[in-house]
Amino acid sequence: MSSSLTRKAKCEGVDGYVSVKDDTITWFPDKPGSQTRKKIDVSQITQVKKTPDGTSRAMIRIEHSNGKLTLEFVTKTGRADFSERLAVDDAVQGLRKSYKQKQIDESERAKAAEEAKLAPSAPAPAAPVGPIVPLEGNLSAQEYERRMEVLNKRSDINQLHKKLVGQGLVRDSKFWEFIRYRLEDDDPVKAQASVKRKEVKRGFPTAWEDPTSSTAESSGTGHRFVLTAATRNKIFAQHPNIELAFRDNVPKKMTGEEFWEKYSKSRYFHSSRGGTATEADKLFALYDAQAPMKIAQELRDRKAGLTTTLDLEKADDHRVVHVQNVHQEGSSNIKNDMYLPKLQQLNRHGKLVLDSNASSKPSDIAWSADEDELQHPLPDLEEDRNPPMIPLKIKNRMLFFEGLGAQSSTAEPSVRKHGLDAMSDRISSWQPDLKRFAKPIPASTSIYKEVFGLSDSAKLNSR
Amino acid sequence: MKFNIGDTTIYFPYPYVYPEQYEYMKELKHALESHGHGIIEMPTGTGKTVTILSFIMSYQIAQPDVGKLIYCTRTVGEMTKVMAELERVVAYRNKCLEEENVDISKAKQGVIAVGLTTRRNLCLHPDVSMADSREEADSMCRSLTASWARSAAIERSDGSGVCEYYEGYRNEGSDAVLPPGFYDIDRLMEFGKQRKWCPYYTARHALNFANVVVYNYQYLLDPKIAGLISNQLARESIVVFDEAHNIDNVCIDALSVNLRKDTLGKCNGNLTTLSNKISDYKARDAARLREEYERLVRGISTTLIEQRTEQTMGESGVSELLGAPVLPQDIVEETVPGNIRRAEHFISFLRRIVEYLREKMTIQHVFQENPKLFLNQMQNTLMTDAKSLRFCSERLKSLVTTLEVENLSEMTPLQLVSDFATLIGTYGRSDNFAIIFEPTDHSGIPDPLLQLACLDASLGIKPVFARFQTVILTSGTISPLNLYSKILGFSPIVARSLSMSMERKCICPMIVSRGPDQVSMTSKFISRDDLSVVRNYGNLVIELATHVPDGMVVFFTSYVYMELMISYWDEMNVINRILDKKLVFIETPDITESSLALDNYRRACDCGRGAVFLCVARGKVAEGIDFDGHYGRAVVVIGVPFQYTESRVLRARLEYMRLALQIRESDYLSFDAMRQASQCIGRVIRSKSDYGIMVLADKRFVRNEKRGKLPPWILDCLEDAHVDMDTDEAVGTARRFLKDLAQPMQKSTALGIALLTGREVADLESGKALPKLSMNELRKGVTTGAFVE
């Protein structure tokens, strides 16, 4: 493939043009007759030297078997023009590269022909299955062989090649450029590596990627996911759409257990099998599609509720246009921030924890701290006043006991809930039986019977 | 309480006053009476705002010829606080005056206070208020309020294409005087909704007759906006710059322009748009362009046209464009040069400038040029003179108005280039600017950037000092005052740094230089990847999170450093260990995300869980959010928050300051880093009843040249034993401090020392001195609560 390039360049102080075309580099003067035209064949070039970038002169020296050609590039204003020099240098290097490649190809072909002559008795190779369509020229021997091998081995690719290249829909080089991805995907080793590459994000611990992997248990009968509260929190922090689905469906349309079962089926069971979408898939597909919009709306709503003192967006920043994005190490922008997902996830984790705790909702706090600060900025200068108090009462005993229970991380939530339920019921239904205390003190066995309703045998067993 | 300072009665809306507040008022009085400027430092949490407001509101009664108060703040949140405080002050003052039966005019009692902010914050139009940026909102607003847009809407007579609130304001509000009141953002919006008046234009109109104006610094300091908003303010006005510690950077930014390669690319698109519009106008309304030309020939400037249009037709629209970025004294009162009078000639002139700059930006190496050299080269190459360049901004403004360009935000690139040309044309002969070109960013990725950097902060603020008779700069952290006034180029009548009177030591500053393993802690670039340093910083945060109740704030030196540390901490399990104690929230480059993180942080503190907020010095949070009370019981500054010292603009500025002001580079860098650090640690205390721990975690803070630049009120509390601590010592000290300070505070112990009554102020006026406690007594007072005789 030949390309041509012409640029303005000085040679020995004379203005002129340099042209790189058809394996030759030619310099000719601006005004005919002022100096002779200089022509170099690419085969003659021995070395190409350049002045370093950023120096006062942009020069290139092409040394060849008959001497050397020194060219200088300047702009209209007389300054060194490194961009022009770069363009010519690229063209010359490209020419040298293709020349060297040609030489190698020719020597290999000659070698192959010699080998074929030396072994006349060898059986004739089987006629290749394809291709009927000829491959494009200018290919190295190895590349030619590789492509032939693919076409011989893969009938589907061969057919595609015939259809696309044979009918002139796509050029041969383009066909091979794009088929590369299919070949890579079909290669199991490479495919696995590429999947792994996609999963790993910088600044993002891999443990957060798939929170269930650490809690999965495999046995002969199947695969069991243990979704603890911590794992669920991680799933919510990682996937806002799942949190949205959970909030919408539990407990209105299904129980928590049913939800997590559907989640596991959709994300871990069916995902590996392909095929038709199940009911669980449909449920989550809906939220996958709607989540970005809903989350953006939720953010807007929450932002609208912020007080002026907390809303950082309410600023009078007039300078942004004139001096924005100065090159500074400390500056950071959202697009290129590779750690941003991690930071967002930590913020989200905090929000989830707060949202899950009813006592931290702003509406439950009896007074607004911001308003108080605006009204009483310097409390010690005022006369003593009664500070606003939050009434200390347990609104929902379940919430209170769950909060206590959450501190013990060892027990399963369902077990904990059951135990705490039983205990709180006992406490709330307990009535002092004063008559009992009027009786004479009974023996220990009868105490067991009366208080816990246990039989003698049960008592013995428990002992 | 009421008390006298000299012959002026001060109406102070609290039963007590701090001694430093009284001192502050005396200094203010001195500055006002001398008609001079002042710079006063007073600790955070000692009520600067109420001091200033109550004094000036009282002084206005005593001296009726004093002008309005112009109170400049940094953020919208601070503006809201000032308004709330002012309302309280005025209510108390008027109540006292009523009781005294003092005969003052009703106008003085009925104070009109207006807070002005961008139209994006003050917009009621459903579409404009949802704009993503300030520029977009301005542009959308203009397309609804410009005179031609309104004329077109009248012709259509369907009411579409105009803003009903703006129309309401034009019909009723533009001549009306607002009823007395305190119009902050929320009230302006409410008022606008009720009357159907545009809050933004109502606020701008109210600037003319309001007694108190509260707005951002930039409305006075940035010549582009100041010419538009603040040109009607009287010389007798009192100007106060609150939180003025960063004002030098604001001045410099106001007169600097950065150009990127893609900006120049977009300029070509802008020029094509304008060319097409010119051709279009030539075909259908050539008279309009002719009229503009004749106006320019006669030498009538766009500003004059605006004023005439306002007066004769009651129309606006022209004046919504920002002015030229040059200082008032440098605005040229001449006719526009002939070579740029015709629209098409001006377009080709701009095209040549863009091409010239584009060629400059193809250079592959960094260069810094004297603006004189740059201007000479530019003049020679473009075959023009500096005068034509100076008129670029003004001429573009005129053309955009003539062509009725609606989408101004799209024209921003061309506006930048014309501002660049105007600035280089105006200040090209001075030494206060530098031209700096960088072909790549700090990591070597090609991103050509041409900067016209203003090096002299005094240039921007000089017109303010010249225009108003009294300008007061105040903050909690502007030490050393002489250095700051030198940088801003003015001689203050009053320069005073006030300390904090305390009956108990309510802050506990500590410098932690080593970890428990005695490895030094520092944020130096070479130590950033040192795992022992990272681990020690992590340990410090974990330990403090374990022992400090409620909220805790951690500042890092930059976003990059914070992200690096968090990623290391995540790998080292530090984050999980902090999460065991408190929730973690982080400031990110996404402003919405950060606002919500801040809200969640406060929720976590309110509900008792406690949280750690990780943020950056010089960030939005460090500059505008208070962590008072239980929202911040400890603040940790990880590293010395130096500016990015590899920045060429900073280097150029340092060199300029060394040569012109004889300020050493290291002195300025330390001064700047320490004022940032002081700002960060000052966030934790907002009143004397508050208390908090301040940890400066870097071995470099131990050095005297750094430590000595802390404000005196922090240095007074920094004990010798707390200067070079390791993590364990610091945690032990913090535990003891928190245990002591969490005890109920007895107000009686503070009387006469940190709190003054009216009688004690009268004693001070008559020359009696207050008892002063030593640090030992303060410490004793913390534990026993009994040291008053």
Question: With an 8 Å Cβ cutoff, are A77 and B381 in contact?
Answer: yes
Cβ atoms B146, B41 nearer than 8 A: no
Shortest CA distance to B552 belongs to which of B528, B585, B588? Answer: B585
Residues written for chain B: 789
Nearest CA in chain A to B325: A322
Classify B728 as helix, strand or coil. Answer: helix
Classify B786 as helix, strand or coil. Answer: coil
Question: CA-to-CA distance for B378 and B356, rounded, in angstroms?
Answer: 8
Most confident range, picked from A61-65, A190-194, A434-438, B731-735: B731-735
Give the pLDDT of residue B167.
87
Mean per-residue pLDDT of chain B: 85
Give the pLDDT of residue A325.
55
- Cβ-based contacts of B755 with chain A (< 8 Å): 380-381
- Cβ-based contacts of B750 with chain A (< 8 Å): 380
Tracing tokens 């919009």 back to the chain, one arrives at A293
Share of chain B above pLDDT 90, in %: 38
Structure tokens of A396? 């929902």
Q: What is the DSSP string of B218-234?
A: HHHH-HHHHHHHSTT--
Give the pLDDT of residue B744.
76
- Cβ-based contacts of B362 with chain A (< 8 Å): 81, 83
Over residues B340-358, mean pLDDT = 91
Cβ atoms B642, B616 nearer than 8 A: no
Which among A329, A342, A357 is the nearest to B566, CB-wise?
A342
Classify B564 as helix, strand or coil. Answer: helix
Question: CA-to-CA distance for A417 and B556, rounded, in angstroms?
Answer: 43
Question: With an 8 Å Cβ cutoff, are A306 and B599 in contact?
Answer: yes
Most confident range, picked from B76-80, B337-341, B678-682: B678-682
What is the separation of C-alpha B131 from the centre of its chain, rounded to a whole number of angstroms?
A: 23
Give the pLDDT of residue B433.
92
Q: What is the DSSP string of A97-124?
A: HHHHHHHHHHHHHHHHHHHHHH-TTSPP
- Residue B260 corresponds to which amino acid? R
Give the pLDDT of residue A352.
86
Give the pLDDT of residue A375.
65
- The nearest CA of chain B is from the CA of A257 a distance in Å of 27
- Cβ-based contacts of B558 with chain A (< 8 Å): 329-330
Give the pLDDT of residue B409.
80
Determine phi and psi for A75, rounding to 5 degrees: -85, 180
Element (H, E) at A39: strand A38-41
Most confident range, picked from A309-318, A369-378, B270-279: B270-279
DSSP label at B632? -
Over residues A131-154, mean pLDDT = 72
Cβ atoms A15, A29 nearer than 8 A: yes
Classify B751 as helix, strand or coil. Answer: strand
Over residues A100-105, mean pLDDT = 84
- Residue B49 corresponds to which amino acid? T
Question: CA-to-CA distance for B605 and A354, rounded, in angstroms?
Answer: 10
The reply to whether B566 touches chain A by the CB within 8 Å rule is: yes
Element (H, E) at A61: strand A58-64
- Cβ-based contacts of A377 with chain B (< 8 Å): 47, 49-50, 81, 84-85, 686-687
Report the b/e string of B322-338 with b at 16+ CB within 10 A: bbbbbbeeebbeeebbe
Structure tokens of B102? 């003092």
Task: Summarize pLDDT for A206-230 with one digit per residue, the tens.
Answer: 444 555 554 555 555 566 667 777 7
Question: CA-to-CA distance for B393 and B325, rounded, in angstroms?
Answer: 8
Structure tokens of B59? 């002084």
Q: What is the DSSP string of B159-211?
A: -TTS-HHHHHIIIIITS--PPSEEE-HHHHHHHHHHHT--HHHHHHHHTTT-S
Determine phi and psi for B188, rounding to 5 degrees: -60, -40
Give the pLDDT of residue B131.
81
Over residues A439-447, mean pLDDT = 52
Considering only residues B337 and B298, tell me which one the structure prediction assigns the higher pLDDT: B337
Give the pLDDT of residue B586.
94
- Cβ-based contacts of B594 with chain A (< 8 Å): 312
Task: Summarize pLDDT for B359-385 with one digit per residue, the tens.
Answer: 999 988 888 988 999 999 999 998 888
Cβ atoms B635, B555 nearer than 8 A: yes
Query: Out of A190-194, B156-160, B468-472, B708-712, which region has the weakest mean confidence (pLDDT)?
Result: A190-194
Reported as a pLDDT band with limits 50, 70 and 90, residue B275 is: very high
Burial class (CB in 10 A: 0-12, 13-18, 19+), B461: buried
Number of separate helices (H) and strands (E) present in chain B: 35, 21
DSSP label at A362? G
Query: Out of A382-396, B415-429, B686-700, which region has the weakest mean confidence (pLDDT)?
Result: A382-396
Before B371, cis peptide (omega within 30)? no
Tracing tokens 């970025």 back to the chain, one arrives at B325
Reported as a pLDDT band with limits 50, 70 and 90, residue A457 is: very low
Nearest CA in chain B to A369: B606
Task: Summarize pLDDT for B131-150 with one digit per residue, the tens.
Answer: 877 778 888 888 888 877 78
Residue A148, pLDDT > 50, answer yes
Residue B56, pLDDT > 70, answer yes
DSSP label at B743? S
Give the pLDDT of residue A437.
53
Question: With an 8 Å Cβ cutoff, are A380 and B586 in contact?
Answer: no
Give the pLDDT of residue A343.
86
Query: Out of A373-382, B209-218, B228-237, which region has the weakest mean confidence (pLDDT)?
Result: A373-382
Task: Summarize pLDDT for B746-771 with one digit per residue, the tens.
Answer: 777 777 777 888 888 888 888 776 66
Cβ atoms B511, B58 nearer than 8 A: no
Reported as a pLDDT band with limits 50, 70 and 90, residue A366 is: very low
Nearest CA in chain A to B598: A310
3-state helix/strand/coil string of B428-445: CCCCCEEEEEEEECCCCC
Residue B338, pLDDT > 90, answer no
Is the ipTM, as predicted for this complex, more than 0.90? no
Tracing tokens 């104006």 back to the chain, one arrives at B213
Q: Which sign does the torsion angle of CA A240, A243, A247, A253 carry? A: positive
Over residues B44-53, mean pLDDT = 88
- Residue B684 corresponds to which amino acid? V
Question: With an 8 Å Cβ cutoff, are B625 and A309 in contact?
Answer: yes
Question: CA-to-CA distance for B227 and B529, rounded, in angstroms?
Answer: 49
Reported as a pLDDT band with limits 50, 70 and 90, residue A282 is: confident
Shortest CA distance to A327 belongs to which of B179, B649, B113, B125? Answer: B649
Structure tokens of B488? 């801003």
Return the bridge partners of B212, or none: B69, B113
What is the separation of C-alpha B490 from the centre of its chain, rounded to a whole number of angstroms?
A: 20
Query: Out of A232-236, A387-391, B424-428, which region has the weakest mean confidence (pLDDT)?
Result: A387-391
- CA neighbours closer than 13 Å in the CB half-sphere of residue A250: 15
Q: Is A325 left (phi over 0), alpha (psi -120 to 50) or beta?
A: left
The reply to whether B625 touches chain A by the CB within 8 Å rule is: yes
